[in-house]
Amino acid sequence: MSGHASPVRAHLGLLLYALLISTSFPLATFLGSQYSPLLTTWLRFAIAALGFILLLLWQGRLSWPGWRDVSRYALISLPLTGFFLLMFVAGGSATALAMGALATLVPLFSALFSWCIWRVRPTGARWLALSLGAVGALWVLTNGNLSQLGQESWPYGNSVFLIACLIMGLYPLVLKALHRGEPMVLVSGWSLITGTLWLTLAALFWQPELLWPAPAQWGAILWLALATTMLTFFLYQSAAVVVGGSSANAYSLLTPTFVLLLNVSLGAPWPPWQLIPGFLLTVLALIWLLKQDRQPTDKQA
Q: Collect all residues with Cβ–Cβ distance below 8 Å to 18 and sequence separation of at least 6.
A: 251, 252, 254, 255, 258
What CA–CA distance (Å, rounded) separates 290 from 8? 13
* 53 inside domain: yes
pLDDT of residue 148: 63
Q: Is 94 inside any structural domain?
A: yes
pLDDT for the residue numbered 150: 58
The CA distance from 61 to 153, in Å, is: 51
CB count within 10 Å of CB 157 equals: 24
Q: Which pLDDT does position 7 carry in this prediction?
A: 85
pLDDT for residue 14: 92
pLDDT tens across the length of the chain (301 residues):
444 568 888 899 999 999 999 999 999 999 988 899 999 999 999 999 999 999 999 999 999 999 999 999 999 999 999 999 999 999 999 999 999 999 999 989 988 998 888 877 778 889 999 999 989 988 888 877 766 665 556 788 999 999 999 999 999 889 889 989 899 999 999 999 999 999 999 999 988 888 899 999 999 999 999 999 999 999 988 888 788 777 888 898 999 999 999 989 988 888 888 888 999 999 999 999 888 877 654 444 3
Q: How far apart are CA 154 and CA 160, in angstroms?
A: 11
Using CA atoms, how far apart are residues 102 and 234, in angstroms rounded to an integer? Answer: 24
**Angle separating helix axes 215-225 and 24-32, nearest 10 degrees:** 140
∠ CA 38-100-175, nearest 5°, is 65
* Chain mean position to CA 231: 13
pLDDT at 269: 86
Residue 115 lies in a domain: yes
- Find all residues with CB under 8 Å of 211, minimum gap 6, and list them: 35, 36, 39
Residue 104 located in a structural domain: yes
Query: Is position 276 within any domain?
Result: no
| CA neighbor of 83 nearest in space, from 69, 102, 108, 111 | 102
Using CA atoms, how far apart are residues 146 and 134, in angstroms rounded to an integer?
12
Does residue 13 fall inside a structural domain? Answer: yes
DSSP string across 138-194: HHHHTTT-GGGTTSTTS-HHHHHHHHHHHHHHTHHHHHHHH--S--HHHHHHHHHHH
> Is residue 85 one of the residues assigned to a domain?
yes
Q: Is residue 98 assigned to a domain? A: yes
- Answer positive or negative: Cα dihedral of 260, 251, 189, 168: negative
What pTM was computed for the model? 0.89
Per the document, the length of the chain is 301
List the domain range (segments joined by +) for residue 52.
Answer: 7-124+154-243
Tally of structural domains, the chain: 1
Which residue pairs from 174-177 have beta carbons closer than 8 angstroms and sit at least 24 positions apart in sequence?
A: 174/75, 174/76, 174/78, 174/79, 175/76, 176/118
Give the per-residue pLDDT at 152: 59
